[in-house]
Amino acid sequence: MQQEVSNFFIFEVSKQPIILLDAQFEILKISSYTKNQLFGSPKAPKNLRFEYLVADEDKKRVNRSLSEIKENQESAKIQLRLFYNKELKWVELDWQYIKKEGVVYLLGFGSFINTPEEDEILALETAEALKDAEEIGKMGSWWVNPKTLENHWNEGNFKIWGADSTEAPPPVSSILKKIHPEDADKVLQAIRSVGSKGKSTELNFRMRLDNKEPYRYFFSRVRPWIVNGEVVEVKRVNFEVSDLVKYQKELEKRNESLNQKNKMLSEYVRMNSHDVRGPLSNILSLIELEKHETMEHSDFVHHVAESAVKLDNVLKKINDSLFFED
C-alpha cells in the first residue's frame, strides 16, 4: 500500500499540501509543493518525523486528533501550524484513515491558509483546553430535545457512560435505567422543567454502567438553549464527583468519631474530676505545711511523691481516653 499511495502522480503535480504518515505518525511521503513551501527545496530532510514540523502550541492538539482518527477509523479536518527553518506556516488538512493489507496509514491533504484571526486561534486553544478539562475533571456535555428526548453528546460524555463515540448515543430511556432509581425521575423532570420554563437548575444523581459496580456520583448543571424565545434544546454538563463524595463521607465519619470521643472525654472528666482535685489538693496542702515548717522534710517528700504519682495516673487515664484508637 505504501508503494501504491506514495507513487501517486498527485504527489508530484498537486499545488496543495499532501502528507502521508504511518501508524506512528512518521512521514512516509510529502508532496513536492509541500516540500517547496516548507523547505524551499523539492528535497526533504531524511528521517523527518511529523511532530518535528508541528508548532509546539499545536503538538498536543494535533497528536490527540490524529490518534482519534486512527482509533475511530474516520476522517477529520485539522488546522495547525507547520514550523521549519524558523518560519511558521498555517495549513488546513483533511486527514483520511487508510488501511491496506493490515497496515494503517493517515493521508492529509488540503491547503496553506492565511494566519487565522486571534479569535480563531483562541477558539482552537480553548477547545483543546476544554478537552483537557473534561479528561481531568471527568466532565461531559449532553444535549437533549425536551419534547422528543432526542439527544447528542460530546466526547467527554461518551467516556463517562462507557459508550462508543463513533455510534449514536443511547436513547434517554436506556440512560435512565443506569441511573439510581431514586434519581432517575429527578433527572428526567429537570430536563422537562428547564425545557418548559427556560430556567437553569442543578442536581446530583448516581449512576452505574452495570449492576456489578458501585454507583458513581455526579453533579449536573442543566441549562436551556433558547432560539427566538423558545427552548430548542436542554444542555446538561455532568461532573463526576465520586472522589469528592467519598472524601466527604470519610470526613463525616471522622468528625462523628471525634465528636463521640469528645463526649466520652467530657463525661469521663466530669465523673473523675474529684480524682484530679484530690492529689492536687494534697500537694498544695503539703506545700503550705512546708512553708510553716510543721513537717519533717522526709515526710514532706514522701507525701508529695505519693500525691504526684496519683495525679500522674489520673492524667494518664485522661490521656488514654483522649487518644484511643478507632
pLDDT, one tens digit for every residue, the chain (326 residues): 444 444 455 666 667 788 888 888 888 888 887 787 777 776 766 767 788 888 887 888 888 888 888 888 888 888 888 876 567 778 888 888 888 888 899 988 888 777 655 455 455 455 554 455 455 546 778 888 888 888 888 777 788 777 787 788 888 898 899 899 999 999 999 999 999 998 889 889 998 888 888 898 888 888 888 877 788 888 887 878 777 777 677 777 887 877 777 777 677 666 665 565 566 666 666 666 665 565 566 666 666 667 677 776 766 766 665 555 44
Q: Are residues 103 and 152 in the same domain?
A: no
Q: What is the CATH number of the domain that holds 216?
A: 3.30.450.20
- Amino acid (one-letter) located at 102: G
Q: So what's the pLDDT on residue 49?
A: 77
Q: Looking at the domain assignment, is residue 247 inside a domain? A: no
Q: Give start and end residues of each alpha helix (H) in the chain.
A: 2-6, 10-13, 32-39, 50-53, 56-72, 118-137, 155-161, 172-178, 181-197, 242-291, 297-322
Domain limits at 142?
138-240
Domain match, 69 and 190 both: no
The cell numbers describing 257, all together, are 468519631
pLDDT the model gives residue 185: 93
Q: Which residues contact 306 (CB under 8 A, 6 or more apart)?
A: 282
184 and 63 within one domain: no
Given a contact cutoff of 8 angstroms between Cβ atoms, the answer to whether 78 and 92 are in contact is: yes
Same domain? 172 vs 196: yes
